[in-house]
Amino acid sequence: MGVLRALCQELTWQKAQQEVGRALADCEQRIAVLLRSASDVHRMLQSMAGKAPKAGGSVPTADNGGRDSHSDVPPGTADNQPSTEKAVEPIKNSSVTSELKTQEEESVTENHERGHSTSTSSLQESYDTQKEILEVHLQNTKFRITSDFSTDKERSSACLQEKLTELQVLKDETDAYWKEFEITSLRLENLASDTEKPAIVKARDRLKGEESELQKPLTTRIESLELALQVVLPIEKETVLVCGSDLPLCAVAVQEFRLTNAGGIYQNLGALQDSIAKQITLCTNFEEPGSLGLKGLHPFDLHATQDILLKCKTQLEMVSCRARMQDEALRALEGFLASLRTAEQSEGLGTDLPTSGAQVAPENTNSAKDVQGEIHLMKDRARHLDKHLQKLDISLEDAEQGEVTSCEKLLETLSARLLETHGHRGQEEDTGESKLLEACTSKNNELFKNIQDVQNQISKIGLKDATAPAVKQRKKSLLRLEKDLEEYEEEKNHLQEMASSLPQFKDGREKTLNQQCQDTVVLWETVKASVTECLEQCGRVLELLRQYQNFKGVLTTLIQKEENVFSTQASYMGKENLKKRIAEIETVKEEFAEHLEVVDKINQICKNLQFHLNKMKTFEEPPFEKEANVIVDRWLDINEKTEDYYENLGRALALWDKLFNLKNIIDEWTEKTLQKMESHELTEDDRERLKVSPQR
């Protein structure tokens, strides 16, 4: 097991290491239990084997001793002995009796020592077994205290509770193992010799220390889990209560185009959202760093608690979002029903119908046409609203009929009432639909023309010159056209809705209108893509211009700096001046080397600018090319001059070094000559040699 544990420590994946560690800990625990059971069985067998010799050994010894005391002298022979022999006989009998008693005492002592030895050996085995079990248990407990939760299970309060129960069982087992070992240790200490007692006491104290050291982190982890459960359980319970149950909506009763139970539904939704908001606030408060509610938690417990709270918060937010969507859907439904009531009241269907002799007012006839047109426009709205309600599990129920209904059915009901009430106006309604078709056609033609105008304006927007202000002016004009297109988009969508709501005509005129509307949509999308592309081109050109001006400034500054160095009056009169000038040239050369890539980039930028600018305007000469070539030529020229100048300065410095060396030689020769002249007077030969010496 030790080898396996060592191999476990070499695992690189932490989760795998923890899982293998838990498996090893369980194996060690089971081994300890098996050892303990085997020890108990072994001790029981030894105790049974130790009792048999005691019962069979003592009794025969006493019987044999009695028989031997009477068999030394036969009865007949004793009567025929002389008186002196009779006098000696009690002495002999007394001696034999004492010897038998001594043998019996020695036998009892041996049996006692043998029993004592057997008891000590059995106790020693129990001690060793319990000690091993306790050591393994302490090591296992230490690992399980600091172990993380299982990765196979989802984070929840049950996960925390399982870990808490596990540690509480470990604490009880630790106390039980220690008490059992302590009792056995004390018993063995009483029976052990003086030389063995210190080792027993030392082992007991060591294990007591380990057990005491283990109790503190064990208690701390238990308290941490209890605190985590105090935080998690109420929130998780409320989350399960809210998310586990269906939202308080199943069927919405509709009567006379009104919701009959709207008040109760809104009240339930409001209460639900308030409860969810309260729980989300609690979760958010615990998420804040340094939250007092989570202070003192073990890092593993803190991480698990935060995961559980985050999961609860996510579930609550989903339910809150769904409740909010249901609330919005119900309000949209009420708005739709209000539109139906308005249409009904416009036709007078909500009041008593006029008598047969009553004459219908002309304004009612116009109202009927308008209402019928509105009903056609509301079909798409009703269809989308039904899909939305179905998605949110909201069903409509007719309060009078007790049947499931829908927005489209309610709209059909209103339309049927209108047809029933104003059946004699069918011809007028057909005329109204024709006028609606004509109006849609006229609007579509106007919209198509406006979009074409925008397209023509885009093609006319050129570029005054290749400068940033000119590009910005082009971009401004394009943005204005883009805004016009966005306004036309709303009109386009409205026109599509109107065209789709038209009924089918016998001559199929609505199909022609739908095709015209589709052509308008395609044109709008084409012009929109063109405007977007032109705006992107302007953005790219502005960025390239910015980079070009930046690189141009960098190169121009360097060139001017080097030209200034050349224009400074050079002085070759001093060696230090030469060194200073060489240092300046070296600095400029380093800057030239650092910006060598800029020369290549400025050429590439010029090519990209030409590519994009040619899409805006045709130029006689490529823009920026001449200017960039001039900069590059100046760069190369000044770079070449710098190299030549640097070499000349180096040669001048070498001449200075040579001059200084020559001066040193002359000074040395002069000093030696003067010393000779001072030491003795020069002869004619010495003067001749002195004249020739400098020439060498």
| Amino acid 343: pLDDT | 80
Instruction: Report if residue 380 sits inside a domain.
Output: yes
| Amino acid 279: pLDDT | 85
CA 378/CA 363 separation, integer angstroms: 22
- Higher-confidence residue of 24 and 476: namely 476
pLDDT of 221 over the 50 cut: yes
Shared domain check, 254 and 184: no
pLDDT of 424 over the 50 cut: no
Shared domain check, 267 and 185: no
* Model pLDDT for residues 280-319, shown as the tens digit of each residue: 888 888 877 667 777 778 888 888 888 888 888 888 888 8
Instruction: Report if residue 238 sits inside a domain.
Output: no
> Model confidence at 146, in pLDDT bands (50, 70, 90)?
confident
CA 370/CA 364 separation, integer angstroms: 10
What are the phi and psi torsion angles at 681 (to 5°)? -75, 140
Among the ranges given (91-105, 282-296, 407-421, 535-549), the one the predictor scored with the smallest mean pLDDT? 91-105
Token pair in block for residue 16 = 């795998």
Instruction: Report if residue 496 sits inside a domain.
Output: no
Query: Which of 402, 421, 440 is at the close of a domain?
Result: 421
Mean pLDDT of the 257-263 span: 80
pLDDT of 5 over the 80 cut: no
Shared domain check, 114 and 181: yes
What are the phi and psi torsion angles at 405 (to 5°)? -130, -175
3-state SS, residue 415: helix
3-state SS, residue 352: coil
Instruction: Report if residue 539 sits inside a domain.
Output: no
Instruction: Please state the domain count of the chain.
Output: 3
3-state SS, residue 82: coil
Shared domain check, 283 and 187: no
| Amino acid 152: pLDDT | 60
Instruction: Report if residue 226 sits inside a domain.
Output: no
Shared domain check, 140 and 44: yes
Shared domain check, 256 and 341: yes
pLDDT of 150 over the 70 cut: no
pLDDT of 395 over the 80 cut: yes
Shared domain check, 251 and 178: no
pLDDT of 251 over the 80 cut: no
CA 609/CA 620 separation, integer angstroms: 15
| 642 and 581 Cβ atoms separated by less than 8 Å | no
> Model confidence at 355, in pLDDT bands (50, 70, 90)?
very low
| Domain boundaries, position 587 | 569-694
Query: Cβ neighbours of residue 647 under 8 Å, at least 6 residues apart?
Result: none
| Amino acid 11: pLDDT | 59
> Model confidence at 104, in pLDDT bands (50, 70, 90)?
very low
Neighbours of 244 (CB within 10 A): 8
Mean pLDDT of the 168-189 span: 89
Shared domain check, 171 and 28: yes
Residue at token pair 């544990």: 5
| Amino acid 290: pLDDT | 66
| Amino acid 89: pLDDT | 43
pTM for the whole structure: 0.43
Shared domain check, 184 and 265: no
The CA distances from residue 313 to 20, 113, 244, 284, 345, in Å, are: 33, 74, 14, 8, 47
| Amino acid 15: pLDDT | 55
- Mean pLDDT over the full length of the chain: 75
Instruction: Report if residue 427 sits inside a domain.
Output: no
Query: Which of 374, 405, 421 is at the close of a domain?
Result: 421
Instruction: Report if residue 339 sits inside a domain.
Output: yes
What are the phi and psi torsion angles at 507 (to 5°)? -90, 0
Shared domain check, 611 and 680: yes
**Residue 396 forms beta bridges with which residues?**
252, 405
* Model pLDDT for residues 484-529, shown as the tens digit of each residue: 888 888 888 888 787 777 767 766 677 787 888 888 888 999 999 9
Shared domain check, 277 and 170: no
| Amino acid 677: pLDDT | 75
Mean pLDDT of the 446-459 span: 88
pLDDT of 174 over the 50 cut: yes
| Amino acid 6: pLDDT | 62
pLDDT of 436 over the 60 cut: yes
Token pair in block for residue 95 = 């001696």
pLDDT of 534 over the 80 cut: yes
| Amino acid 423: pLDDT | 53
Query: Which of 154, 176, 191 is at the close of a domain?
Result: 191
Shared domain check, 59 and 134: yes
* Model pLDDT for residues 58-94, shown as the tens digit of each residue: 333 334 434 343 434 343 433 444 343 333 344 344 4
Instruction: Report if residue 465 sits inside a domain.
Output: no
